Structures are given as structure tokens and as C-alpha cells.
């Protein structure tokens, strides 16, 4: 593993004053992936966006992780349905004059 492509969780939490338990909770809910290497825990830089997004929802709107998980599930479902609708519209254009 190239460690420069990962962020040490302990340092991130110390720098941003984020509780480390919050990071573990995000991992448990599947929002981010924690990688273990030589007794150290890391996240990929792309996961920082998700950590900050969920943290904002939690802090600014007062939504707990269960609620955020439910919202993410609904958003994914809406996106899937929108893609299906777009595909069906494209298929129906064949029959339009």
C-alpha cells in the first residue's frame, strides 16, 4: 500500500477535532472504508468528502446516522429510478413521429 494515498485517521481526527468514534460509526454504516495497515487505520482521500458531508448533516440539521443512512438509501433509489425513466424515455422516442 502506498501510504501517501491514504490519510491516517488519528491525525485527521486530531487536526479536525472530529471524534474518532464518529469515524468508526461511519465505517460501520458503510459510508466510508477504513483500511488497517501495521496497527494504523487509514481512509482514502475521497472518503474525506463523505466524512465532511455526513458531519455537516449531523451537526447542522441534527440528523443522526440512522437518518442519514435512510436519506442516502432514498437518494440512491431516486437516482436509480431517474436513470430508468431516462432510459425508458429514450426507448419511447423511437415511436414518436
pTM of the model: 0.74
**β pairing state of 7-8 and 35-37:** unpaired
Instruction: Provide the CATH number for the domain formed by 3-95 in this structure.
Output: 1.10.1660.10
pLDDT of residue 4: 60
Mind listing the pLDDT tens digit of every residue in the chain (97 residues)? 455 689 999 999 999 999 999 999 999 999 999 999 889 999 999 999 999 999 998 889 888 999 999 998 999 999 999 999 999 999 999 888 7
Q: Can you give the residue ranges of every domain in the chain?
A: 3-95
Helical axes 9-16 vs 20-28, angle rounded to 10°: 120
Residue 1: CB partners within 8 Å, gap ≥ 6? 35, 37
Within 8 A by CB and 6+ apart from 7, the residues are 42, 43, 44, 45, 48
Amino acid at each position: 500500500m502506498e501510504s501517501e494515498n491514504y490519510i491516517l485517521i488519528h491525525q485527521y481526527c486530531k487536526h479536525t477535532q472530529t471524534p474518532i468514534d464518529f469515524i468508526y460509526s461511519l465505517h460501520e454504516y458503510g459510508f466510508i472504508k477504513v483500511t488497517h495497515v501495521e496497527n494504523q487505520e487509514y481512509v482514502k482521500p475521497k472518503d474525506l468528502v463523505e466524512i465532511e458531508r455526513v458531519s455537516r448533516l449531523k451537526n447542522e440539521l441534527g440528523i443522526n446516522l440512522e437518518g442519514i443512512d435512510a436519506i442516502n438509501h432514498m437518494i440512491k433509489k431516486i437516482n436509480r429510478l431517474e436513470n430508468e425513466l431516462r432510459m425508458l424515455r429514450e426507448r419511447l422516442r423511437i415511436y414518436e413521429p
